[in-house]
Structure 1
């Protein structure tokens, strides 16, 4: 049979997003997914435990590939007559991600705590806007640089400036000693 006889020609003005919406509407109105489960409930079970997506790196094509596998294989097995319930699995990546985030933000939170203590020691009012000068090294300096904007917002700093060793660091009303994190602050209103 010639190809032209098997397929209807598509309009050059066809909107695939509109077709997709129409198909989804039809599936919802006719409860197609539930019907596919009911139709295969006497079939052998085919199980695919699907873990949730994780935020452990930049999105990439491998994420799309994993989603396609988790969609195509259950559909295919359903078409073969297997009963496929689509049961979500468990998250085996979340805890390492949470720990990594906590390590990163934990240091920034600790810096905020130290700045707040310095504000109090300097006798500044809770509402005083401050200029914050700082000096640190290593992970503390990295956290300070990376989260400077968030730290500034939290401690009401209009300016956060790294003081390079050997420089005056600008005028200040209060100079602190080096803290347990190896960071030192100079504050002014």
Structure 2
């Protein structure tokens, strides 16, 4: 089967702020968004990273795509199983164990996906940047740089994951919770 590779076929996979999924914070106060940034793909955890959903403004339940204050790609076993089918070794993917405790004290196993090889997929001619920096305001991607990938992430995207429509359809069909898709090169959810 030939896969159509056009910009219209790629989506951001992000957390759905309209869902009832709560925001999980790491129990270790030394864990931040850049925790994996200085590590290489030989790095292993000795124990799972632990997160907890607390009472307050961002309270809620757990979901397949779990919101977290670090912005990690925190996936349930069901969502991980789908994502794994579409990963390639080219981006040096690695899974790290995590646990999330909900507000009732029930702990669920999760996995954090981190791609150690995160090339710059931006089309620098058609992207807009903060003046005098390499920080993109309006991101435009280069299909040549994306190549045969059905999902990708880069340092310019931070924690966002972009997925091809094939991946999106399989995730939607599975009924995974806590996530939302919007097409790349669009403003995203406006309402």
* TM-score normalised by structure 2 residue count: 0.21
Q: Point out the structure with max Rg over C-alpha.
A: 1
Structure with more relative contact order (C-alpha pairs < 8 Å, separation 6 or more):
2
* TM-score normalised by structure 1 residue count: 0.21
